[in-house]
């Protein structure tokens, strides 16, 4: 069987996330499949016969590849996001799309918890204090207990659920909002995103990104959250109006923001140089050893199922 | 009723923790008790009639005060630690000692979780990466999932228990050690501290400090933990051999250390200036708005019970 992996966007020098997991992927699939790395492919003939591609689903999939791989019948996103794939377009051509469902939702939830603790319990601020001699000069730090902290979760999928369970153990009070209700959930759903922001201290964005929710976390939402409010984005950069966040932090109308994802990745460090109360991370909320291993295993299982003529394990469902 | 608060060690210019909570304390006890602040007392006659002192129990209580307060019958430690109080000495004189039991054990456990996430999920390292342009230069960070991380807890009191419950929710695998077994506990007890260190990835020190466990976390324990090992101290500085930690971090025989407490507080920032993989905080693990409020309420309840002739709520039990 022929297979290609798509590790680099043409014309961009940004090494894809797949580089991290390549050894996992090769160990997982190399025995059964012939693998061609698109980024280093010498000629079109090397990937022309490919029947499947393994891709970073969060990055745009160039349809020109389709023309170059006429036998393509499976797009296997190794990660959770598939916002880079036009699923309807693929379906019309009979191409199955799979994704890394639930491979790292708990790790992402852990990371959000880590940023909540970092911000409210002043973990990195405390470290700076001691190193800078502030403690010795007699100043003392007071921190805010997580007990009773009002957590608002935007999107109650697997990440949101994992976060809400952790928040229970950490004595936070959880509410959530998503366009669609989820019957049987024990945490209350706010009537609207604005009301969720109004009634919570910290808003964690854990929704799947699509065209309909671009810029969902707008200046209006940030205003509803208020000057003590905190946002944490562990979903996708497109969901948050980055310029509005920067503006609100500069004007003190938002308390703090922790961003793991950005409009452009990698984000430019100069964009954040003089932004106060900003906590940045380089899209690592879901990047763990365990996630990489699970992604590779799931890609293999999806490939095997597909080429054995069975239903894939984690197909992307119809968007409507 | 007369009452004094002890907010400053004589001859030291370090403002005590009680400064943080004074407004809570005054609001809580001012209506019933006449309060004299020892630090600003003009003459001995002002505190001579005191029948109770409210103190930071983690700092040495100078017995000379006893001579100056002959009617002293209650030492109310507002915090959890009472290692600064010679309880047997007090008992011999008929002085009751109370402490802030379970006012902030969950906050301390939260803080330890925050440092575990900070270290393994590279939260502060990631922040530096983005700000320093490392991400843009093409480097990627891999982090370690908390799933399966082996947590060793030294001391399974209220903090240790709260931490173990959180560790369950975060998919860590907990074992513990303390000099005495605790029947009925679901987490396994290691046969010894050394074996706990051998068999775990991260060791959290959550034991009550006393003369018998000074320097408990020794060079030998750190060696057992190994070059990938992490220690987190949220208990008392005396429990950890600070020089051994610094030496092990410098030589790479210990992976990382997060210290909230120190041999001397505030610790000198120059001591840590060139120590790698060190995460410092200025004794804030238990310093939250909620803890301060609970401490004040409990001090008030203990005072009221004592002066109403009832048993105090949280007396320090006999040490033997």
pLDDT digits (tens, 9 = 90+) for B74-119: 999 988 889 889 999 999 999 999 999 999 999 999 999 999 999 9
Q: Is A287 within 8 Å of chain B by CB?
A: yes
Interface TM-score (ipTM) > 0.95: no
| Burial of B9 per CB tally in 10 Å (0-12, 13-18, 19+) | middle
Please tell me which of the candidates A14, A111, A269 has its beta carbon nearest to residue B131.
A269
The band of A15, judged by pLDDT with boundaries at 50, 70 and 90, is very low
Considering CB atoms only, which of A141, A267, A287 is closest to B142?
Answer: A287
Rounded CA-CA distance B96/B78 in Å is 14
If residue A130 lies in a helix (H) or strand (E), which one and from where to where?
A: helix A123-132
Assign B2 a pLDDT band (cuts: 50, 70, 90).
Answer: low
Residues in CB range of B310: below 8 A, 6 or more apart: none
Closest chain B C-alpha to A276 CA, distance in angstroms: 12
Residue A27, pLDDT > 80, answer no
Q: What is the pLDDT of residues A268-292, one digit of tens each?
A: 999 999 999 999 999 999 999 999 8
Identify the residue with better confidence: B297 or B62.
B297
Write the DSSP string, A162-193.
HHHHHHHHTT-EEEEE-SS--TT-SSPBPSSH
The string of pLDDT tens digits covering residues B225-246 is 999 999 999 999 999 999 999 9
Half-sphere exposure of A111 (CA within 13 A, CB side): 37
Is A291's Cβ below 8 Å from some Cβ in B? yes
Q: State percent of chain A over pLDDT 70.
A: 91
Instruction: Tell me the pLDDT tens digit for each residue of A194-209.
Output: 999 999 999 999 999 9
Q: What is the pLDDT of residue A317?
A: 82
Give the dihedral of Cα atoms B71, B74, B78, B84; nearest 10 deg: 90
Say yes or no: A222 contacts chain B, CB-CB below 8 A: no
| B276-298 confidence digits (pLDDT tens) | 999 999 999 999 999 988 998 99
């Amino acid at each position: 069987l022929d297979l290609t992996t798509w590790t680099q966007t043409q014309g961009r020098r940004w090494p894809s996330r797949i580089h991290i997991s390549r050894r996992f992927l090769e160990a997982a699939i190399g025995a059964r499949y012939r693998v061609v790395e698109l980024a280093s492919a010498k000629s079109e003939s090397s990937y022309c016969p490919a029947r499947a591609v393994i891709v970073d689903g969060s990055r745009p999939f160039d349809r020109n590849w389709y023309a170059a791989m006429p036998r393509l019948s499976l797009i296997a996103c190794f990660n959770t996001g598939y916002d880079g794939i036009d699923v309807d377009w693929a379906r019309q051509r009979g191409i199955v799309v799979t994704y890394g469902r639930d491979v790292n939702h708990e790790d992402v939830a852990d990371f959000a918890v880590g940023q909540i603790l970092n911000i409210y319990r002043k973990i990195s601020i405390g470290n700076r204090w001691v190193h800078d001699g502030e403690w010795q000069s007699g100043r003392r730090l007071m921190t805010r207990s997580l007990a009773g902290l009002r957590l608002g979760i935007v999107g109650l999928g697997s990440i949101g659920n994992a976060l809400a369970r952790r928040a229970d153990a950490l004595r936070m009070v959880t509410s959530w909002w998503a366009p669609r209700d989820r019957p049987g959930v024990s945490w209350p759903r706010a009537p609207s995103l604005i009301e969720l922001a109004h009634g919570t201290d910290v808003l964690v964005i854990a929704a799947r990104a699509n065209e309909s929710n671009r810029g969902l976390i707008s200046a209006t939402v940030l205003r509803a959250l208020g000057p003590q409010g905190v946002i944490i984005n562990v979903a996708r950069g497109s969901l948050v109006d980055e310029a509005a966040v920067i503006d609100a932090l500069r004007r003190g109308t938002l308390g703090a923001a922790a961003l793991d994802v950005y409009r452009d990745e990698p984000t430019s460090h100069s964009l954040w140089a003089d932004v106060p109360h900003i906590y940045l991370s380089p899209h690592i909320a879901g990047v763990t050893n365990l996630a990489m291993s699970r992604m590779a295993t799931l890609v293999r299982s999806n490939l095997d199922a597909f080429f054995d003529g069975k239903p894939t394990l984690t197909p992307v469902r119809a968007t409507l």
